Amino acid sequence: MSGIVALALRMSARRLIEDATLAGARVFDSAIAPIDEMIAKDPAPAIVISTEDEKFNVAGRDVVGTAGTIELVFEIVVASYVQQTIEVAGGEVQTALDVVIPATDAGFEITLSLISRQIMRALTYKGSAPSIWFDVFKRLAPSIKSIASRRGAGSKDSTKFAARQIVITVDAVAEPDFGAEPEPGTSIAAFLVAVDADAELRQLAPMLRAVIVGDDIPTWRRTASELGLLDVEAAGLGTMPAIIPPEDPSAVTAVEVAGLGVVDEATADEQVP
């Protein structure tokens, strides 16, 4: 369903991978243009992140209350030579060495393998300068179920390229509740904190909060909805307010609740939390 958790996973993965691989800052979130068109415009190595299959087990009508699995997909594409400067230790001396991986079939395969390795390191180990996004990613995806890697290749307008798709299936946390501010310490709360602290993303924070929370929904009303109960049924269970408003005020002038008798509609409205 491409919900908030999938969005947060993509955004945090992008931040972790940017400048952590041979692709540098060329990391994109769900690029719309086909890979071959993108690489024809700029042959430098690039990574596109997307989420594919998402599966959440639902109990009753609680569509956001259970954890699930999400496929996090990294598409790596290479169409040019890669040059990297590394530090090589020689005794007590550090020497800068320029390494060039040629734009050949073998060179492309080497680059794909190196970038794949760098992606996995960035997602699973904190760097020397720990990022708040690492903790967010780990909270959202507490464990990894499987990893699949698929090779690809092609050409576009005489530009030859090689590609690899890495599919990481993760155990993902449940979607945040509707109509409630995420509780401090939860994964979604940590995600919003990270967005607020990000110079590029903080402009999205108000919209994200508006979509995640929306109009406030009382706890008893959320519980009734998750259980698939009508208001009268919920009150009859004793877990909801004894007196609640009619579900269709335009159709009735009074409401009978849990055998308590007929209650005036105005009185009932006054007693709603």
* Token pair for 28: 């994109």
Contact 94, 61 (CB under 8 A): no
Highest mean pLDDT range out of 32-36, 116-120, 269-273? Answer: 116-120
pLDDT score at 66: 80
What six digits make up the tokens of 115?
A: 């970038």
pLDDT of 191-242, one tens digit each? Answer: 999 999 999 999 999 999 888 887 666 666 666 666 565 665 555 555 555 4
- Chain position carrying tokens 């190595």: 45
Model confidence over 102-116: pLDDT tens digits?
A: 667 778 888 899 999
Residue 258: the pLDDT is: 39
| Residue 119, Ramachandran bin (φ over 0: left; ψ between -120 and 50: alpha; else beta) | alpha
Dihedral angle sign, alpha carbons of residues 213, 217, 223, 227: negative
Read off the amino acid at residue 201: L
Helices (H), 100-201: 105-124, 132-140, 187-197
> In the predicted model, what is the mean pLDDT of the chain?
76
The pLDDT assigned to 72 comes to: 96
Highest mean pLDDT out of 11-25, 78-92, 203-217: 11-25
Higher pLDDT, 94 or 166: 166
Quick one: what percent of the chain has pLDDT higher than 70? 59
Are the beta carbons of 19 and 50 closer than 8 angstroms? no
DSSP state of 183: P
Rounded distance between C-alpha atoms, residue 23 and residue 43, angstroms = 11
> Quick one: which of 65, 71, 64, 69 has its CA closest to 50?
71
Q: Which residues pair with 46 in a beta bridge?
A: 77
Question: Rounded mean pLDDT of 237-255?
Answer: 47
- Please tell me which residue, 242 or 168, carries the higher pLDDT value: 168
E strands along 194-261, which residues? 254-256
Q: What does DSSP assign to residue 212?
A: H
Which phi and psi (to 5°) does residue 50 adopt? -145, 165
39 and 159 in contact (C-beta within 8 Å)? yes
Amino acid, res. 40: A
pLDDT score at 48: 93
Tell me which DSSP letter residue 62 carries. B
Chain centroid to CA 267? 45
The tokens describing 136, both together, are 């967010």
Closest among 71, 48, 75 to 151, alpha carbons compared: 75
* Closest by CA position to 101, among listed 45, 144, 42, 154: 45
- The residue with tokens 């691989």 is 21
Ordered by where they begin, the domains of the chain are: 4-213 (3.30.70.1700), 219-270 (no CATH)
